[in-house]
Amino acid sequence: MADWIFQGNPKQHDLHAAVASSRRQWWSTPRYRDRTAAGDRVWLQIVGRDHPGIYYVATIMSPTYEHPGQPSGGTHGRWRTDIRFDYRITPPMLRLELLGDPQLGSFRPFRGFQGSTVPVPPDISAVLWERAAPRLEAFDAV
pTM of the model: 0.90
Q: Highest mean pLDDT range out of 4-13, 63-72, 104-113?
A: 4-13
The Cα 13–Cα 77 span in angstroms is 12
Res 10 pLDDT > 90: no
Could you report the per-residue pLDDT of 32-76, keeping only the tens digit for each?
Answer: 888 999 999 999 998 888 899 999 999 999 999 888 875 555 555
Number of C-beta neighbours around residue 52 at 10 A: 22
Quote the pLDDT of residue 128.
Answer: 96
Is there a contact between 60 and 80 (Cβ–Cβ < 8 Å)?
no
Arithmetic mean of pLDDT, 85-103:
95
What is the CATH T-level fold of the domain 3-138, as seen in this structure? ph1033 like fold (3.10.590)
Cα 129 to Cα 28: distance, rounded to the nearest angstrom: 24
Q: Which of 112, 120, 117, 108 is nearest to 30 (CA)?
A: 117
